[in-house]
Amino acid sequence: MMLCCVDLCIAMKKTPCLLSLLNYYGEHIGLDPRRIPGNASVDKFAEALAKACTEYNRPRALVMVVVQPEERNMYDQHWLCAELKDRYPFNLLYSLSCLCNTHNVTTIRKTLAEIDEEGEILPDGTLLVGGQEISVVYFRAGYAPTDYPSEAEWRARLLMEQSSAVKCPSISYQLAGTKKIQQELAKPNMLERFLDNKEDIAKLRKCFAGLWSLEDSDIIKKAIERPELFVMKPQREGGGNNIYNDDVRTNLVRLQKEGTQEDAAYILMQRIFPAVSLTFLVREGICHKDHAVSELGVYGAYLRNKEKVIVNEQCGYLVRTKVSSSNEGGVAAGFAVLDSIYLN
């Protein structure tokens, strides 16, 4: 059984607060709160996790959140855990019809090292951690090489993967999110393996940026000549790892001289230049104008038990805005801020 909650970020629960502000002050500033789309990300993800517990079908089993030892994003994680335990109508746009529903799902938080120390698998595949049965393993850690500083963390990951607990995400889904898979999907005739409709394939391919391996000598030559048109990306999750501008040329030349297999750890991507707009930004009480760009991410949840698809739906969105001069866009890293959609 597998569960995937794509790009989960509970911070989007600020939308109802924004709607409340606009309901009070909207007409004074010329904004209509009805033009802000509803966003039920927490409710929807909690519902998907709860359905995974139901499919596991052991009422006393827990959801285990796998976290980093010094987790910085703990509060959005706690929000989801609270929603799983006691469902309150945080998002009135979604929850008015669900006021009486309670998931009543208990969660625990464990690091990979703690799971290695406390975890075991019973002969039937049941995963126990600290003597408690686990129905769903929800990974908020385990995506970066730094999450595996010793063999203990690798043992913990293998233990969980070998168990019958539902994984969110499954190992196959996690690997499918790597840059290398994106590069493979951009190759000619690759989408035809997954889609039959030629019009759908053409529409999807129009959304792709160029993606190439570092084995392509022609594209390497172009990137060295015009590095500002490319981004060099490692096989990593999250921001802060990409290479831009003259650093692209420097690293490509270095890899060519060294002749090692390190180039397999990267792909080249066509750099995207989004529309720029003049924006008012406030930091530490000071307002200033700057040019900014925004990125829209659409969430989804997918739950499957063998061939039976139980959940496959859109679950809200996230908008991030950053100054256009910044190459990075992470919110937690301090490069961007959470924003909202306002429909014209």
Annotated binding site: 77, 179, 233-242, 244, 269-272, 295, 320, 322, 328
Give one DSSP letter per residue of 291-317, joined into a string.
EEEEEEEEEEEEEEETTEEEEEEEEEE
DSSP 125-170: S-EEETTEEEEEEEESS-SSGGG--SHHHHHHHHHHHHSSSEEES-
Residue list, annotated binding site for Mg(2+): 237
DSSP letters, 254-266, are HHHHH--GGGGGE
Half-sphere exposure of 189 (CA within 13 A, CB side): 0
In angstroms, the CA 69 to CA 88 distance is 29
The answer to whether 227 and 245 are in contact (CB under 8 A) is yes
Backbone angles phi, psi at 296, to 5 degrees: -105, 125
- Which residues are CB-contacts of 121 (< 8 A; sequence separation ≥ 6)? 127, 128, 159, 162, 163
Nearest to 44 by CA among 7, 1, 2, 69: 7
Known binding-site residue numbers for substrate: 77, 320
Q: Which residues are annotated as a binding site for ATP?
A: 179, 233-242, 244, 269-272, 295, 322, 328
